[in-house]
Amino acid sequence: MLYVSVRALVIEAPYRCRVADVSEPAPGPGEVVIKVRACGVCGSDLHKYRGEIPVEYPVIPGHEISGVVVRVGEGVEELREGDWVAVDPNIACHSCSYCREGLVHFCEKWRAIGVHLPGGYAEYVKVPASNVYKLPSGLDFEAAAFAEPLACCLHGHDILGIKQGGEVTVFGLGPIGLLHVQLAKLSGSSLVVGVDLVEKKLRLAERLGADVVVNAAEEDPVRAVLEVTRGRGVGYVIEATGVPKVVEQCLRVLAPKGRLLVFGVCPQGAKIELEPFLVFRKELTILGSFINPHTTSRALRLLASGRVRVKELISHKLRLGDVEDFFKRMIAHDPEVVKGVVVPRS
């Protein structure tokens, strides 16, 4: 198949990117080429733009990918040209000690689309066929672009283990936090409290199932959560901001036997103040969650069912030339920004 041009958004160095012509991807054995129809903007893409995570420049970011298979490499039997698909961007070796124990997300040779390999901020992207999932009937490309972040959230909820009737607080109501709010409601929580600084996100959380929202710009979120729960705190807290100070607040609203899921990505090397006696006396559990092992199929089924709503999260649809300006709006904490989705070509 001949492409007239292949355009991509390339980050050449921190704070410098451009739309460029790049080499046309050709599938090798076990690979497919996908025409990208939608690619979500993740906070990690912004970190690459700002030079805050180690990547080798130049890099084509974008890992929340959906699109259409247009070329199929040798040995690929389960996919055909024309298939509508989504991508799990995390590539494991399947031979190291962690992979052999089923812990593919700790793979010693882990690589990722949009980090180590060209990503989805492009008209076309090359992906291992084993990382490609056919879309369920009725699921469109923009919703399917949420498969990767939702799969990550599902992994976190598997670890957190919310029991029916549990009470949950979600700190941070960006796209990830809003997915967590919905999953908490689906888990049978009796109370879901959402905390954020931005009014638009608080209203979105209410529409998506939060029972109570707290504007942390106007009141102390710790006091507010304790008031809602009559001083006892909640059994489960999800930290989705990546701000170390907020992690400290999360610990203070946990009830005895409470469980904290540290989901937001704090800067590497950041520290928090932790009172060990509090953990001891209240028998608290602190958990982490990293990427999305074995949860992509479930995420796609949930999206297709409509039980997790994502279209309302999309605040901006972007062409490749719009991406750098959108990064700048994210840096400026534009209150109108919730979730950007890149549509490289209609």
Eight-class DSSP state of 80: -
The burial of 96, by beta-carbon neighbours within 10 Å (0-12 exposed, 13-18 middle, 19 or more buried), is given as middle
CA distance 113 to 61: 8
What is residue 34's predicted lDDT score, i.e. its pLDDT?
98
Domains belonging to the chain, first-starting first, are: 7-146+310-342 (3.90.180.10), 150-288 (3.40.50.720)
| Residue 337, phi then psi, degrees to nearest 5 | -85, 125
SS3 content of the chain, % helix, strand, coil (to 5): 30, 25, 40
What is residue 3's predicted lDDT score, i.e. its pLDDT?
44
> How many Cβ atoms are within 10 Å of 2's Cβ, its own excluded?
4
What is residue 346's predicted lDDT score, i.e. its pLDDT?
56
Residues forming a β-bridge with 68: 35, 84
Q: If you search the block for the tokens 């707290």, which residue do you land on? A: 214
Q: Classify the phi-psi angles of 11: left when phi > 0, otherwise alpha if psi is within -120 to 50, otherwise beta.
A: beta
pLDDT along the chain (346 residues), means of 10: 73 97 95 98 95 93 98 97 98 98 97 97 98 97 98 98 98 98 98 98 98 98 98 98 96 98 93 95 98 98 98 97 97 97 86
Eight-class DSSP state of 194: E
How is residue 189 written in tokens? 């929580």
Residues forming a β-bridge with 124: 35
| Residue 311, phi then psi, degrees to nearest 5 | -60, -30
Cα-trace Rg, the chain: 20
What is residue 1's predicted lDDT score, i.e. its pLDDT?
45
Q: If you search the block for the tokens 């009796």, which residue do you land on? A: 190
State the alpha helices, DSSP H only, in 122-273: 141-144, 147-160, 175-186, 199-207, 221-228, 244-252
CA distance 345 to 188: 40
Helices and strands, number each (H, E), in the chain: 11, 17
What is residue 31's predicted lDDT score, i.e. its pLDDT?
98
CA distance 310 to 141: 12
Q: What is the model's pTM? A: 0.96
How is residue 35 written in tokens? 């025409």
209 within 8 A of 185, measured Cβ to Cβ: yes
